[in-house]
Each structure stands twice: as C-alpha cells, then as structure tokens.
Amino acid sequence: MEHHQSDRDHLVKRVVLPSGKTIEVVCFSEHDEPGVTAPHPFSDPPGDLHVCVECSSHLAYPVVWDEAGNDHWSVTIRCPECETFREGVFSQHAVDAFDEELDAGTDTLTADYRRLMRSNMVEEVDRFAAALSAGAVLPEDF
C-alpha cells in the first residue's frame, strides 16, 4: 500500500485488493468538510472474527487472508452454517485473536477425533475377540 500526501490536506492511499485490482482511496481531513470525518479503512469489527455477523455461529473461518500494510490484514471469512462471506481489513491484534480461536478449534477437533478413533478401535477389538472366542474366525479368513 502506498501513501501520497497532497497539498490540499488529504491523503491518497493505493490499495491492492485480493482480486489483484488496485484502487486509490482518498481520505480527506476533518477540516475539509465541517462535521464530517473520513471513516478509517482499517477498523476492527465490534465482535470477534470467528463469530458470524449474520447468524452468530462461532464457526466462521478464514478463506483468504493477505497482508494489507504493516499491521493490517485483508481477510475473507466464511460461515459454514449460513454460507455468509465477509471481507474486511483488520488489525494485527484482531487477526492474532482470530488465529488463537482457530488454534483452539483445531485442538478441540483433534482431541474429539482421537477420542472417536479410540472408541471405534475398542469396539473393533471387542468384536474381533468375541468372534475368536466363538470360533467364528478361522485361519482361512486371512
């Protein structure tokens, strides 16, 4: 992202979008129009990034994320429950918190997967042991 200061008290920012298209954003100071301030293009959401803005699901995850300056990220987020996609530019702090939520979710999924594998394996071993005891497994079965 490039910044150019003009002699008329405004800032021109060149931003490269995830699509590769480059746009110029002109930010005027609050002195140009009384009572009107330019919105900050890098504002964090009121809630956590892992929470869907439509259905409040806590399962939203990033589809694409790219650097958008020194301490901001352009992120596309998808909710698997309502299929809402959301795009925005967020601070490093918000993205770090999002990353921590994703890590915690990965840990939870991994633990659940291991429990399920153990449970399935115990059931298989029990069935095999019962078949052996009943004489239902013969050498010809292998």
- Walk along the chain (142 residues) and give the pLDDT tens digit of each residue: 444 444 456 666 777 766 677 777 766 654 444 433 333 455 566 679 999 999 999 999 999 999 888 889 999 999 999 999 999 999 999 999 999 999 999 999 999 999 999 999 999 999 999 998 998 988 888 8
Whether 42 and 85 have beta carbons less than 8 Å apart is answered as no
**Based on C-alpha coordinates, what's the Rg of the chain?**
26
Residue type, 88: G
Distance separating alpha carbons of residues 135 and 142, to the nearest angstrom = 14
E strand or H helix at 94: helix 92-133
pTM of the full structure: 0.57
E strand or H helix at 71: none
In the prediction, which pLDDT does 137 show?
A: 87
Residue ranges per structural domain of the chain? 1-30, 42-133
Q: Tally the C-alpha atoms within 13 A of residue 90's C-alpha that lie toward its C-beta.
A: 25
